[in-house]
């Protein structure tokens, strides 16, 4: 799995030796900040590249999910869920994961998943009296074909 967005502090942590050298060279050279500034410029460049990769990745996700948006009754979150399940047929989804992924309430996540069950894209697996998981429906492809996607 590729991580597309990296914080500057993560990049600094990953290049700890270079950071320490830049700091030491600054001290040795009577507080000449050239080394330290040069190091931080390189870090900013790496962060910028990581940000561009993250944006490209997110744009691809949205584009790939757009075809599912053509299905009546499917919102953007539901389209993303369909994309996930389409790409990873063995994936088990749950409400908590959807809450976190889309930054929505439990009610909204549950409503989206149950709507996809009603549309025939997902099936419910009862975990216990209260908790449910959701998996790709055995009729997923047939249901998708109904909408000519």
Residues 56 and 75 occupy one common structural domain: no
Look up the domain containing 34 and give its range: 8-63
Q: What's the pLDDT score for residue 149?
A: 67
Q: What's the pLDDT score for residue 124?
A: 96
Residues 25 and 79 occupy one common structural domain: no
Q: What is the pLDDT along the chain (149 residues), one digit of tens a residue?
A: 344 456 788 888 888 899 888 888 888 888 888 888 999 999 999 989 988 988 888 888 777 778 898 899 999 999 999 999 999 999 999 999 999 999 999 999 999 999 999 999 999 999 998 899 999 999 999 998 888 76
Q: Are 67 and 50 in contact (CB under 8 A)?
A: no
Q: What's the pLDDT score for residue 3?
A: 45
Residues 79 and 141 occupy one common structural domain: yes
Q: Is 35 contained in some domain?
A: yes
Number of domains in the chain: 2
Please name the residues in contact with 66: beta carbons below 8 A apart, sequence gap of 6 or more.
79
Q: Are 77 and 84 in contact (CB under 8 A)?
A: no
Q: Is 50 contained in some domain?
A: yes
């Amino acid at each position: 799995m590729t991580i597309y967005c990296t914080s500057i502090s993560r990049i600094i942590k990953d290049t700890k030796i270079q950071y320490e050298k830049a700091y030491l060279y600054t001290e040795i050279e009577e507080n000449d900040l050239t080394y330290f500034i040069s190091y931080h410029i390189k870090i900013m460049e790496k962060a910028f590249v990581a940000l561009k990769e993250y944006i490209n990745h997110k744009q691809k996700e949205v584009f790939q999910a757009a075809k599912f948006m053509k299905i009546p009754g499917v919102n953007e979150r539901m389209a993303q869920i369909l994309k996930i399940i389409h790409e990873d047929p063995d994936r088990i989804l749950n409400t908590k994961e959807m809450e976190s992924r889309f930054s929505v309430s439990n009610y909204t996540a549950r409503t989206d998943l149950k709507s996809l069950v009603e549309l025939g894209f997902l099936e419910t697996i009862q975990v216990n009296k209260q908790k449910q998981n959701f998996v790709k429906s055995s009729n997923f492809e047939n249901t998708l074909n109904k909408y000519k996607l």
